[in-house]
Structure 1
């Protein structure tokens, strides 16, 4: 049995995230959502639904800002607010964090280490945010690039952070066709929490750069 981790950045978005959750529930697939704090605070019902349906929720900063353009105090305050908000919304400590655009700084790394949070990057992208892409192109890229143990990064939001208008809808449409194909190839879908626990040790051994330990 092969394994992969589906992850989604920049949400939740009330227009797209419920549709994605409906699809994942229909396919009996769990995923990991790296949510932007201000969006999560605006739609706590979506965070509660993620948790209740077995998904893992991680952090993606409060406002999706580039770490290299933030002052040390801004990064410190962002972590403090994010950690408090995550506990309020999920009832658990923040365990997983993905920096916006995958960009960290020495100050961000300091707080990741201080709060004992796992920094998570990715192995596979499908450029699903681009204006010229289509659901078919996204699906083809995923099929071509996936491998055993891959951490896949997609988006259920992001129009306010550089993504094209309507891009998450194309991602969902791509997954409607891609998830059944992945299942047919023998892939099991893990949350980041399951991945870390070593539910599938072989997949973890095969992974490349998706997980970065602080």
Structure 2
């Protein structure tokens, strides 16, 4: 019994050191850097995860084009390879494109070998589509020690967020997403939304919320920028 307790304790400590601690350290570090930024800069950064999706991303791009708004897409490698025309359109219309790993998996459940493979295959998938990005957002914002090593080795910049609207939730609505954006967004914020996955056609609700929020933000004097402008200067 004592040996079992010791073994379980070792596994828990290893897990904490491998993934949980690195995740929280990165998030705390990001919040600290955020405090040093210029709060009076009336810029906001729209970012979208989990695409591209042939049904949702095209509609979103149409909306962004209508208002001449540039945003940033963190794409999943497998989905990008399935939708090369959408990636090409993102590029042609001036959006930033970053990597959201080759497959949408939690870093907390990935071994070092799996982590390296997911990163390398994701980078190569985007290169195959003509994208040499240095921007990276891990699924769910989760890190592990191997991922941190791969980020440094590939000279990539991890991009987290300031505002989340939980727009993937099964029971969310357009109004709920809109209310969260109204109440949470401030100057110089990076906003994390989704143009893929999600339950009950969640990305459609996000697009409808943005259909009202984008002109509202423009009327308030906000400027839309890409994370490429923020991190790749």
TM-score, normalised with respect to structure 2: 0.81
User: Are 1:105 and 2:107 an aligned pair?
Assistant: no
Q: 1:11 aligns with which of 51, 55, 58?
A: 51
User: The residue matched to 2:105 in structure 1 has which SS?
Assistant: coil
Instruction: Tell me which residue corresponds to 2:210.
Output: 175
Across the two proteins, how many residue pairs are aligned to each other? 193
CA deviation after TM superposition for structure 1 residue 92, in Å? 4.0
User: The residue matched to 2:61 in structure 1 has which SS?
Assistant: helix
**CA distances 1:126-171 after superposition (whole Å, capped 9, x unpaired):** 111112211111111101111111000000011xxxx212000000
CA deviation after TM superposition for structure 1 residue 125, in Å? 0.7
Counterparts of 2:118 and 2:133, CA distance in 1? 13
Q: 1:49-68 residue pairs with structure 2 within 5 A?
A: 49-68=89-108
CA deviation after TM superposition for structure 1 residue 94, in Å? 2.1
Instruction: Tell me which residue corresponds to 1:194.
Output: 229
User: Are 1:23 and 2:58 an aligned pair?
Assistant: no
Instruction: Tell me which residue corresponds to 1:145.
Output: 184
**CA distances 1:76-95 after superposition (whole Å, capped 9, x unpaired):** 11111111111121x34221
Q: 1:39 aligns with which of 79, 84, 90?
A: 79
| Bigger Cα displacement from structure 2, 39-48 vs 78-87 | 78-87
Q: 2:109 aligns with which of 69, 93, 113?
A: 69
In structure 1, stretches of 5+ residues that fail to align are 199-214
RMSD of aligned Cα (Å):
1.1
In structure 2, stretches of 5+ residues that fail to align are 1-40
Instruction: Tell me which protein shows more helix as a share of its residues.
Output: 2
